[in-house]
Structure 1
Amino acid sequence: MSSRKDWKDICAEKRKAQSAAIPPEWIIQPPPESQSLVLDVPAQSGLLTERELEITETTDVDLILQKLRSAEWSSVEVTTAFYKRAIIAQQLTNCLTEIFVERALQRARQLDDILRETGKPVGPLHGLPISLKDQFTMKGLETVMGYVAWVGKFADKDSVLVEILYECGAVPFVRSNVPQTLMWGETYNHVFGRTTNPYNRKLTPGGSSGGEGALLAMKGSPLGVGTDIGGSLRIPSAFCGLYTLRPSYERLPYCGAVNALEGQESISSVLGPMANSMSGVKIFTKAIIDAEPWTRDPLVLRKEWSEKEYRLEYHGGGKELCFAMLWDNGVVRPHPPLQRAMEMTKAALEAAGHKVIDWEPHRHLEIYKNAETIFVADGGHDYRVQCELSGEPLIETMVPPTDAHESTLSEPFVKTLVGEAARLGAYDLWQLQKEKRELRKSHLDHWERTVSRTGTGRPVDAIISPAVAYTAVPHGLNTDSFYTTLCNALDYACTVFPVTFVDPKLDRPLPPHKFHNHEDEAIHQLYSTDLFAGCPVGLQLIGRSQEEEAVIAMTEIVDNALKAARKRSNGS
C-alpha cells in the first residue's frame, strides 16, 4: 500500500491555502457565471476607492512611475490598489497562483521610507507593483508551475529576474496561473483550475501566460512578466488586448526560473513584459538590460541598451519605413476581424507616410514541422515524469468536460504534419538542429532580397502579421500557433499590439475558400460574429534577431499611426 497522498487532496489543500491568503474584506459578491463580460466589475464592486480606481485605471506605466518618484502616490497605496484589483480579477477569472499580501506591502513600505528619508527613488521601477508568471522563483514561496508534484516546493533563493526587479525598486506582488506542462496556448491545470478571459469568460485568455493576460486585462497589475517558447506571451496578449515583447534568445535573464522541457536548447524559451501600454514594455526591457544581467546569467548576451537602435538609425531614422504584411501564412487563413485589423494598420501606416508591401511566405511548412518536431523530441517523457511524481494524469485536451463548444476539428494539423511523438536519439535531434540553422539562413536571405521591392534602399524594416489566426476562442479550441512559433524558430524579436475589437457589423463571415488543410477548414467554420463580438483584435510586429530596441520603436510608430487614424475617423 502506498502512503503517498492522493493528488486530488493535494490540489484541494493548495486551493484552500490560496483562498485563505485573501483578506476577507477583499471578497466581493461576484456576478453570476452566466455573465460573460466582467471588465466593469472592479469599478462596480465598491471595494476600490475613487483614488484606487484612478491609480489602477492609469495604463501608462511611465506616468505611474513619475507619480511614485514624486511621492504624489506612495508605493503602499499603489500596491494596495492593484492588489485589491488583482484579487477581484482572481474571483472573476481565476488568474492567480501565489498571493502574499503582507510581504508585498512590507516591501512597498520600505521603498516609501527610503524615498522619504533620502529623497531619491531606489531605481527605475521604484515602487511599481509587478506580477509574475508562475515560473519565476521567489525565496520562501512555492512555484507550482501547474504540476501537483511541485506543491510544497519552496524556493531557497530568488531567480535572477526577481533579484534584478528588487534592485530596480519594483514590488513583486502576485504570481499568475499557467497550464500543466506550459506547452499549451491555454491556461488550465489540476491544482488551480481554468483561467478565463474577462472579455468573455466562455473564451480562453490564451496561454501559457494566460494568467498574466487575464490579470492585466482586468487592470489588476500595471506590468506583468510572462514567457514565450511558441507564442506564450503573444497569444494571451492578442486575446486580452495587451502589448508585449517577445525578445530574442538570451537577451533577458531566465536563470533560476523553473521551466518545462529543461535542457531543450534548440528553441529557447524567453521572458518578456506584458502591459496595457507600450511605455510599460519599453521601461521594463530597458531597466532589465541596464542592470547588466549578463553578470548574473551566463547565457545572457552582453548587449547594452542601444539608443542608436531605438532611434532607428539602421532603419532610415524611422522616416518612410517599409512594412510587409503577412496576410496568410499558408497554414491557417485569419478570421475576418484579423483581416480588417491588417487593413486598418496598412491604411494607418500609409497615411503616416510609410510604405506597405505584401510579404511572401517562405518555406513555412518546413519551418513549422521542424520546430514542432523539436518540441516533441523526447516523446513526452518530461511531462510524464513530472505527472508520475504525484500520480496526476497528463492533461491531453483543454476542452472542458461539460458545455464544450462544438468543433469540426478531429486533430490539429500539426499532429498530421509531425506524426505521433516519438523519442528521438541524439543524432536525429542533431539533424533537426542542423535543418533549423539552414532554414534560418534561408529565411534571412529571403528577407534580405526584399530590398528589390521596398524602394527605401533597405530590406523590409518589419513584418506585420496576425499573432493568431483568430481572436480568443472557446476553451479547448486554440489549436494553431504557427504565426507565433515561426518567430521562435527563426528567433525574430517581435511584439503584439492591440488594434480594434470584433464588430459583428463589419466582420461578417466570409465564403469558403480553398483550404490549406483540414484545420484551416475547421477554423473557418468556427467563425461566428455572435461568438466573438467585442473580443480584442491584436497583431504582431516581427523584426530581426537581437533588435529589441528597434522593434519597440517601430511598434510605437505603428501604435501612434493607429491612434491618429482613430482620431481622424472620430472627427477629433
Structure 2
Amino acid sequence: MASTSWQDRCARRKQAQVDSIPKDWLITLPSEDKGNVLDVPITCGLLTPREIEITETVDVIAILSKLKSGDWSSVETTRAFYKRAIIAHQLTNCLTEIFVERALDRAKEVDDYLKIHGKPIGPLHGLPISLKDQFTMKGLETIMGYVSWIGQHAEKDSVLVEILYELGAVPFVRTNVPQTLMWGETYNHVFGRTTNPYNRRLTPGGSSGGEGALLALKGSPLGVGTDIGGSVRIPSTFCSLYTLRPSYERLPYCGAVNSLEGQESISSVLGPMAQTINAVKLFTKAIIDAKPWRKDPMAIHKAWSEEEYALSEHGKGGKMCFAIMWDNGVVKPHPPLWRAMRMVKRALEAAGHKVIDWVPYKQLEIYKTAEMIFAADGGHDYRAVCEQSGEPLLRSMSLPSDNHGRPIDHPLFRSLLGEPKHYTAYELWRLHKEKRDLRKDQLDYWEATVSQTGTGRPVDAIISPALAYTAVPHGLNTDSFYCTFCNAMDYACSAFPVTYVDPIVDLQHPSHEFYNHEDEAIYKMYDPAVFAGAPVGLQLIGRPLEEEAVIAMTQVVDHALKMMKSY
C-alpha cells in the first residue's frame, strides 16, 4: 500500500461502500438546495406502507412487543429499517459499514429461534440497532475516520456487540464519525461529511454525528454512540433526540476502538440515542441486567436499581428541586437556549417542583484542566495515526468553499488554551490531581445547595444547555464547555429535546460584556434566519453513577414539558 496515495485509498473505500448499497434501494435525490429532508423517507416511494408503519413506530417498546409476539418478523423489521437507513445515508451521508445480508441472516436466526422455542432470545429480541463506527464486529472493518485503518478487519466482537447478540438484538449498520473523534462535527477523509436532516447546511454534531442524522430520519429505532466531551449529547440536541451519558465504566466499552487509548483520567463512555427517553431506559437496563462486568474488567459491578429509578434519594419523585445553569460564565447561550430553559422552568413549576438558579462555580478551571488532559501528548496520538497513511490531520470542519471568515482550528488548539504542550508524566499526574480536587470542590458546592432547596436535600439535578447554541453551519461548532463539565466531573447526565428555533421569537439578545474571544464569536454567530427550525435541546445533570435517577428525572421533565404543551 506504500505506493498508493491516501486519496486513492479513500476513493476505493468510498466506492466499496457505494457498491454495498442494493441498487433497487437508490432513490431520486432532492435538490441540494432542499435543507430539511425529514419528509423524504415517506415521500420518496421506496418504502412500502408496511415498512412506513414499522419505521414510523418510534416507541421501541411497541416494536419489541410486535417482534416478541411474531406480529412483525425481525427480517421484515430489519429490512424496513435498513431501507430507511439507506435513504438517510443518501440524504446525509451518515453510514460507514453497510452489511445488508449479514444483518438479514442474523434477523432470520432470531425469527427461527422464536419459532422453535416459542419465546424471545432476550429483552432486545429482533430489534435492529445501529452502532457508531467504534464498536468492532468480527470480520468487519472499523475505520473510525482514519485512512490508515482501512482494511483492518476485527478478529472478534467488542463486548457491547457480544451482549447485544445475547440479548437478541440485530446490529445492522455502523455510523460516521470525525477523524480523531475529538470534534463536535462529523467529517473524515474516508467517508466524507455528514449533514443534519433538519437543515443540511448545518452540522448534526459529533462525534456521534452519523447516529444523530440516522436516528433523526428514523433510519434506526435505537443507536449507540460514545461521549468523552459531549459526543452523544451534542448530536442528540442538534437532532431532537434523547440520550444518556453514563458515568465512567457503567456500560461496557471493552473491545471498542478509540482515540487517546490509555488516557483514563476522563474516560470515554458509551450511551444510547433514541427518539424517546423510554428507549434509553430500556437499553440501559437491558445492558446492565446482562452483567457486563463479567465480560469487561473495567465495567462497574453495579446492578440496575429499581429503587434508584423510583427516585428513592430524590423524594421519591415528589417535590424535587432543580437548578438551572442559565450561563456557565464562559460562553453565554444563544436566545433559543434561554427560551428552552424558561420553558422547562415553567413546566417543572407547574408540575409542583421547585426551580432555583445554579450559579456556575470554577467552570473555566474545570474546562482548562480537562482539555489539557486530552492534549497532554501534544497531539502525538492523532499525528501518528495520520502519518501511517500520509493523510493530513484535519484542522477545520469548514466547507472548502466557506470558512465563514473565521477558520476554526482543531480542538487541541483552542484559543483559550494556547498551543498544545507534550506534558511529562509528572505534569500529567498534577493535572489528574487538579481534576480530583475540582471534583471535591464541586461536590461540596452541590451539597451546600441544601440551604436553598426547601426539600431537605441538595439540588436534585441541574438543567443546562449542552452547548451554547443549536446546530450550526459546518465548521462553527467550537463550544464544548457545558458538556465537558460533566465528563470531567463524571456526572451521569442526559440530553432531551425541548423545542425548535423560531426566528420571530428568538431574536438576538442585546450585546453584553464578553467573557472572552470565544464568547464574543459565539454571540456574533447567531442569526435567527440561519438557525430557523433547528432543534433545541438541553441536558439534565445528575451525580456520578446516578444513571437510573437521571433517566427517571428526565422522564419527569419530559412529561412536564408535554403536559405544558398540551394546554
Which TM-score band (shorter chain)?
over 0.9
Instruction: Decide whether the 8 Å contact of 1:412 with 1:480 is kept in 2.
Output: no
- Residue 4 of structure 1 and its aligned partner are, at CA, apart by 3.1
Q: 1:411 to 1:246 in 2, by over 3 A?
A: closer
Look up the match of 1:144. Answer: 143
The within-5 A match list for 1:98-113 is 98-113=97-112
Look up the match of 2:349. Answer: 350
- Residue 403 of structure 1 and its aligned partner are, at CA, apart by 3.3
Look up the match of 1:446. Answer: 445
Query: Which residue identity does 2:523 align to in structure 1?
Result: H
In 1: Cα distance, 2:317 partner to 2:343 partner: 20
SS at structure 2 position matched to 1:474: coil
Query: Which residue identity does 1:22 align to in structure 2?
Result: I
In 2: Cα distance, 1:412 partner to 1:220 partner: 30
In 1: Cα distance, 2:225 partner to 2:76 partner: 25
Instruction: Decide whether the 8 Å contact of 1:409 with 1:519 is kept in 2.
Output: no
The within-5 A match list for 1:205-224 is 205-224=204-223
SS at structure 2 position matched to 1:539: strand
SS at structure 2 position matched to 1:447: helix
The within-5 A match list for 1:84-163 is 84-163=83-162
CA-to-aligned-CA distance 1:318-345 (integer Å, 9 cap, x gap): 0001000000001110000000000000
In 1: Cα distance, 2:410 partner to 2:387 partner: 26
SS at structure 2 position matched to 1:225: strand
- Residue 417 of structure 1 and its aligned partner are, at CA, apart by 2.7
Which TM-score applies when normalising by structure 2? 0.99
Is 1:337 the counterpart of 2:336 in the alignment? Answer: yes
In 2: Cα distance, 1:414 partner to 1:549 partner: 36
* 4+ residue runs over 3 A deviation: 403-414
Which TM-score applies when normalising by structure 1? 0.98
Q: 1:411 to 1:9 in 2, by over 3 A?
A: closer
In 2: Cα distance, 1:408 partner to 1:360 partner: 32
The within-5 A match list for 1:243-392 is 243-392=242-391
- Residue 512 of structure 1 and its aligned partner are, at CA, apart by 0.3
Query: Which residue identity does 2:127 align to in structure 1?
Result: L
In 1: Cα distance, 2:38 partner to 2:478 partner: 26
CA-to-aligned-CA distance 1:522-569 (integer Å, 9 cap, x gap): 11111111100000000000000001000000000000000000001x
In 2: Cα distance, 1:407 partner to 1:420 partner: 18
In 1: Cα distance, 2:128 partner to 2:515 partner: 45
Instruction: Decide whether the 8 Å contact of 1:229 with 1:267 is kept in 2.
Output: yes
CA-to-aligned-CA distance 1:119-158 (integer Å, 9 cap, x gap): 1000000000000000000000000000000000000100
More deviation in 264-273 or 408-417?
408-417
- Residue 415 of structure 1 and its aligned partner are, at CA, apart by 2.5
Instruction: Decide whether the 8 Å contact of 1:494 with 1:540 is kept in 2.
Output: yes
Look up the match of 1:513. Answer: 512
- Residue 478 of structure 1 and its aligned partner are, at CA, apart by 0.1
- Residue 409 of structure 1 and its aligned partner are, at CA, apart by 7.5
In 1: Cα distance, 2:560 partner to 2:54 partner: 27
CA-to-aligned-CA distance 1:373-409 (integer Å, 9 cap, x gap): 0010000000011001111111111111113444497
Structure 1 unaligned segments of length 5 or more: list them. none
Look up the match of 1:25. Answer: 24
SS at structure 2 position matched to 1:64: helix
In 2: Cα distance, 1:103 partner to 1:411 partner: 37
SS at structure 1 position matched to 2:416: helix
Instruction: Decide whether the 8 Å contact of 2:375 with 2:412 is kept in 1.
Output: no
Query: Which residue identity does 1:60 align to in structure 2?
Result: D
Instruction: Decide whether the 8 Å contact of 2:463 with 2:538 is kept in 1.
Output: yes
Look up the match of 2:12. Answer: 13
Query: Which residue identity does 2:395 align to in structure 1?
Result: E
Look up the match of 2:550. Answer: 551
CA-to-aligned-CA distance 1:436-458 (integer Å, 9 cap, x gap): 00000000000000000000000
Query: Which residue identity does 1:339 align to in structure 2?
Result: W
Look up the match of 1:241. Answer: 240
The within-5 A match list for 1:392-431 is 392-407=391-406, 415-431=414-430
Instruction: Decide whether the 8 Å contact of 2:55 with 2:218 is kept in 1.
Output: yes
In 2: Cα distance, 1:237 partner to 1:395 partner: 24
SS at structure 1 position matched to 2:499: strand
Instruction: Decide whether the 8 Å contact of 2:197 with 2:213 is kept in 1.
Output: yes
CA-to-aligned-CA distance 1:234-260 (integer Å, 9 cap, x gap): 000000000000000010000000000
Instruction: Decide whether the 8 Å contact of 1:413 with 1:518 is kept in 2.
Output: no
SS at structure 2 position matched to 1:520: helix
In 1: Cα distance, 2:224 partner to 2:340 partner: 26
In 2: Cα distance, 1:397 partner to 1:353 partner: 46
Query: Which residue identity does 1:368 align to in structure 2?
Result: Y
Query: Which residue identity does 2:37 align to in structure 1?
Result: V
In 2: Cα distance, 1:412 partner to 1:110 partner: 44
Query: Which residue identity does 1:98 align to in structure 2?
Result: E
Query: Which residue identity does 2:464 align to in structure 1?
Result: S
In 2: Cα distance, 1:245 partner to 1:128 partner: 19
More deviation in 517-526 or 157-166?
517-526
Look up the match of 2:71. Answer: 72
Q: 1:406 to 1:50 in 2, by over 3 A?
A: farther
Query: Which residue identity does 1:55 align to in structure 2?
Result: I
Look up the match of 2:197. Answer: 198
In 1: Cα distance, 2:412 partner to 2:273 partner: 29
Is 1:463 the counterpart of 2:462 in the alignment? Answer: yes
- Residue 75 of structure 1 and its aligned partner are, at CA, apart by 0.6
- Residue 413 of structure 1 and its aligned partner are, at CA, apart by 11
Structure 2 unaligned segments of length 5 or more: list them. none
The CA RMSD measured in Å over matched residues stands at 1.3
In 2: Cα distance, 1:92 partner to 1:388 partner: 32
